Amino acid sequence: MWHLRTAQGKDVDALQRFVGNLSLATRVQRFFAPLRELPGELVRALRQADPAHCFVIAEADGEPIGLGQLALRGEQGEVALVVADAWQSRGVGARLLAQLLVEASRHGLREVMLETLAGNRGMRALARRGGFDLQRHPGDPELLLGRRQLTA
């Protein structure tokens, strides 16, 4: 069984292990680059409990199997998520995305965005199911930009 919970600074080491164990394809789909660790900006946000970020962990047997994040910028937010290779296509991503949208509503956001590689079929399907409208990214031809309005 697995569950969702809020991530905190004490989770950084486990999350670094989680990212390091992801396949190259999954890391590129999440970070758009073959990173082997969480970017420093996210590590700092976790450690400092930065109020401009919410992190949600999907956890099984005490280990992360998924990580979702919401960056808060005024009335807009941006979500990103990743699920361990062995756990993909089992509903974890859908639950993470739904929880990030709950967090976005709780913070009073009006709009949530996401970026995905245009060839990422799984994320395209998940985003559309989550109510996002996907368009070509104005700043990068390899990306799609998803937008979802939130009602108050």
The residue ranges that bind ligand COA (CB under 6 A) are: 26, 29-30, 80-83, 88-94, 114, 116, 120-123, 125-126, 129
Q: Is the Cβ of residue 84 or residue 109 nearer to ligand COA in the bound state?
A: 84
* Residue 133, token pair as written in the block: 């409208």
Q: Is the Cβ of residue 17 or residue 90 nearer to ligand COA in the bound state?
A: 90
Q: How far is the CB of 104 from ligand COA (least distance, A)?
A: 15
| Residue 69, helix vs strand vs coil | strand
Q: How far is the CB of 8 from ligand COA (least distance, A)?
A: 21
Give residue 3's region: left, alpha or beta (phi > 0; psi -120 to 50). beta
Contact 44, 93 (CB under 8 A): no
Give residue 32's region: left, alpha or beta (phi > 0; psi -120 to 50). left
Q: How far is the CB of 13 from ligand COA (least distance, A)?
A: 21
Q: Is the Cβ of residue 27 or residue 152 nearer to ligand COA in the bound state?
A: 27
